Amino acid sequence: MDSKPEVKVPVRLSTRDPSIQLEQEPGPLLVQTTLRRPQLSALVNSLLRPDDKPIPFDILINGQFLRTTIDEFLTNNGISAETTLDVEYTRALIPPLNVTSF
């Protein structure tokens, strides 16, 4: 009964880059609030090019780059999971950290 409740929040994906536009607008998607940028990037890849090598995306929520979990982002910005979030994705400009160790 007292398992940690998993919170989900509706997100609406969009991009300004016509080359990575989704062919089919999926509508709002309910995602876990524990997610970070890499998982959301994986979500976009799964919708955009499920059979190709994934490309990294940066994620912006309400115009701000996501650097934490969604949950932390919501808390820091005084938003609740009751609100549908506008999630924008762009091609990642900076290579992801911790990729090269040589």
Partner 1 sequence: LVHLDDVSALTPESARALWLSHEASTHSLSQQLTESLRLILAPTLATKLRGDFRTGKRLNLKRIIPYIASSYKRDKIWLRRSLPSKRSYQVMIALDDSKSMAESGASNLALKTLTLVARSMAMLEVGEVAVTGFGDTINVAHDFDKPFTSEAGVRVFEQFGFDQQKTDVRGLVHKSLDLFAEARRKGSSSAGEDLWQLMLIVSDGICDSHADIQRLVRRAQEERVMIVFVIIDSSAGAPAAASAPANGSEGVAEAEKEKKGIMDLQSVEISPEGKVVRWKYMERFPFRYFLVVRDVRELPGVLSGALRQWFGEVVGSV
Per CB under 8 A, residues contacting partner 1 are 1, 3, 5-8, 10, 25-32, 35, 38-43, 46, 54, 76-84
DSSP tally for the chain: helices H, then strands E: 2, 5
- Residue with smaller CB distance to partner 1, 54 or 60: 54
Of 7-15, 33-41, 80-88, 91-99: span binding Mg ion (CB under 5 A) = 80-88
Question: What one-letter code names the amino acid at 31?
Answer: V
Residue 32 partner contact from Mg ion, partner 1, none using kind-dependent CB cut-offs of 5 to 8 Å: partner 1
Q: Return all residues near 31 (Cβ < 8 A) that are at least 6 apart.
A: 8, 9, 11, 40, 43, 70
- Residue with smaller CB distance to partner 1, 47 or 60: 47
d(CA 82, CA 68): 19
Instruction: Give the number of C-alpha atoms closer than 13 A to the C-alpha of residue 87, restricted to the C-beta side.
Output: 30
- Residue with smaller CB distance to partner 1, 3 or 100: 3
Q: Where on the chain is the footprint of Mg ion (CB under 5 A)? A: 82
